[in-house]
Structure 1
């Protein structure tokens, strides 16, 4: 790799400025910073770069204790299978349920969201609860209006909330949540609003991928807290 400047301090003597006409000279030293701090904001184009650094390296996630996850399109692939006997069926990838259990083990409550327009998911609510140990709640055309009371009831800020959705209607929640994600096959609006876009498709491991991302960000945040407590002046 190579080193490049992302900011500097000039500490100069009066004589240097008067005789050399420069603020730089004499002894020079550098301090190598971590990649997440590698942006020097000088012009407008630097702002989106800095934003991407924040989203990638995760200054969020330390206090995440609640996650909302859409069932159709996230936990499932959104397809409905019709049997010869006339029954409707959906499939759930075991990777998704494994990811949910990992979050629960780390004291993150997971609430599954079903749409009022998805009758199959509604019929599966009891089975989903038994399978995942999660509460299942129904949301309408505006999920934000349905989940907001839950966030307030638990006295949480949105930075403490994770949200996974795949549809345009999820955009508001994806924007507000401290950590948010959309599967690889989500709608463009959802993908643009999400802070993390999964490599995997809905119903094919995307939930586990996001769950592991959440846990990674929480671990990074905890590690940073420990680093901040180090008295570097006494090294």
Structure 2
């Protein structure tokens, strides 16, 4: 006799107080609050017995009531979304609870059906989630959580770092974790009593608490998903997609015409040395210098922007023939805008590379931004991309090579005939 199908409830957490986008659940998208878009897509999932919004704010509850949805008021003091889900369990009776984030208005009902079907077909699966393939560039972004799987689909580990580590340059198989979870009732009942391990605190990923406790998480692969809503820029992108305008084109390395680089921590390793006379000494990487000249000789301007000023720095920039530069800068936003104007390009055609908080205004001024591999986590989070190389060890060259490759000029890097076209003006 066939086993009885589990009762499945979809719970949509919706907090009003988002740091980066206050009132996010109520943001208007094509005439509806965002939470309504998520709720309606959840209703399309086959085999689900209940759909409910979990919120700690009356304004969200009122909006859900207005469009005819169901909600549960929960405490505002929950340390995690999973704890909030455990409270909902006291009011909504089910065998499996699917946690569907309230900032995913483009969620595909079919993906949730895949997750629900997986939980229904294998009772040994305690927790289910989703993942999809990504490229190496996205894998370097700490905002993108990666997962590696065992042969049976169970997660081996989740991380903000690129995993597995691509020691072989040809390796390009990465999986992005999609933050949708399905929990069996017993797991939720035990969650609040679980120890928070070191790795959860380090990665800021609550699913690692479950893995540390010995729970198995099965990940089901789906096609790449649409963007969620984390920032005002994401919201505008989703609005355009839902309104039928299509996904707005994002800046691409193929379009870059200006690279603005910081010095200390990017072109150098951040070390500052003084000789007996008090002169500041810095260690630059020769391959970065070659990258600058290759960009300049192939139609991409390079600008050097530094919060410091020294004879050593000016000598290095002069040796490389870089004409666009500003030293001793305090306001990097204004400085970037000035350099963009001098180069005769747009912000969308400009990429900035930095390593620390002082570079965040520069990131905001440019269409794209890259953080070096050893930048602090909060700087990486603010950048659009993260390099695999540390500052002072060829990070600029990594970006330069990527730009030339994206613009169809990889031959100047990889062939003698290509390099011969620019070699007369090369400098390291």
Q: Shorter-chain TM-score: which interval?
A: 0.5 to 0.7
Q: Structure 1 residue 41 and structure 2 residue 226: aligned?
A: yes
Shift of 1:78: 1.5
Matched position secondary structure for 1:62: helix
* Alpha-carbon distance in structure 2 between the residues aligned to 1:100 and 1:43: 36
| Aligned pairs (5 A) from 1:104-123 | 104-115=296-307, 118-119=308-309, 122-123=310-311
Query: TM-score, structure 2 length as denominator?
Result: 0.36
Mapped to 1, the partners of 2:379 and 2:408 lie a distance apart of 26
State how far apart, in whole Å, the 2-side matches of 1:71 and 1:42 are: 34
Which of the numbers 189, 200, 203 marks the counterpart of 2:378?
189
Task: Give the conservation status (yes or no) of the 8 Å contact 1:70–1:112.
Answer: yes
What's the counterpart of residue 127 of structure 1?
A: 315
Partner of 2:350: 161
Q: Deviations over 1:110-135 (max 9, x none)?
A: 111121xx34xx22243123321112
Corresponding residue number in structure 2 for 1:94: 286
C-alpha spacing 1:194/1:219, structure 2 compared with 1 (3 Å): farther
Q: Deviations over 1:199-228 (max 9, x none)?
A: 2111111111111122233339xxxxxxxx
Q: Aligned residue for 1:211?
A: 400
Q: Are 2:340 and 2:347, in contact at CA under 8 Å, matched by a contact in 1?
A: yes
Q: Decide which of 178, 181, 191 is 2:367's aligned counterpart.
A: 178
* SS of residue in 2 equivalent to 1:67: strand
- Provide structure 1 residue ranges, at least 5 long, that are not aligned to the other structure: 1-6, 8-34, 52-57, 221-235
| In 2: Cα distance, 1:42 partner to 1:194 partner | 17
Structure 2 CA distance for partners of 1:153 and 1:111, relative to 1, 3 Å: closer
Q: Which residue of 2 aligns with 1:141?
A: 330
Summarize deviations over 1:157-208 as a string: whole Å, max 9, x none: 2110111111212113224423321111223332112222112111111111
Give the drift of 1:144.
0.7
Give the aligned partner of residue 64 of structure 1: 256
C-alpha separation in 1, matches of 2:395 and 2:269: 10
- RCO higher in 1 or 2 (8 Å CA, sep ≥ 6)? 1
TM-aligned CA deviation for residue 148 of structure 1: 0.7
Gaps of 5+ in 2: 1-107, 109-133, 136-222, 239-249, 410-428
**8 Å contact 2:291–2:396 — kept in the other structure?**
yes
Name the count of aligned residue pairs.
Answer: 176
SS at match of 1:140: coil
1:74 counterpart SS class: coil
TM-score normalised by the chain length of structure 1: 0.63
Higher strand content, 1 or 2: 2
CA RMSD of aligned residues (A): 3.3
**Contact kept? 1:179, 1:214, Cα under 8 Å:** no
Q: Distance in 1 between matches of 2:384 and 2:285?
A: 23
Larger Rg: 2
Listed one character per residue, the Cα deviations across residues 27-46 of structure 1 (whole Å, up to 9, x for unaligned) are: xxxxxxxx78x53439769x
> Structure 1 residues 153, 188: CA separation in 2 closer, same or farther (over 3 Å shift)?
same
**Residues 93 and 44 from structure 1, CA distance in 2 versus in 1: closer, same or farther, beyond 3 angstroms?**
closer
In the TM superposition, residue 105 of structure 1 has moved relative to its aligned partner by 2.1
CA deviation profile, 1:127-151 (whole Å, cap 9, x unmatched): 1233211123125232011121222
User: Which structure has more helix as a fraction of its residues?
Assistant: 1
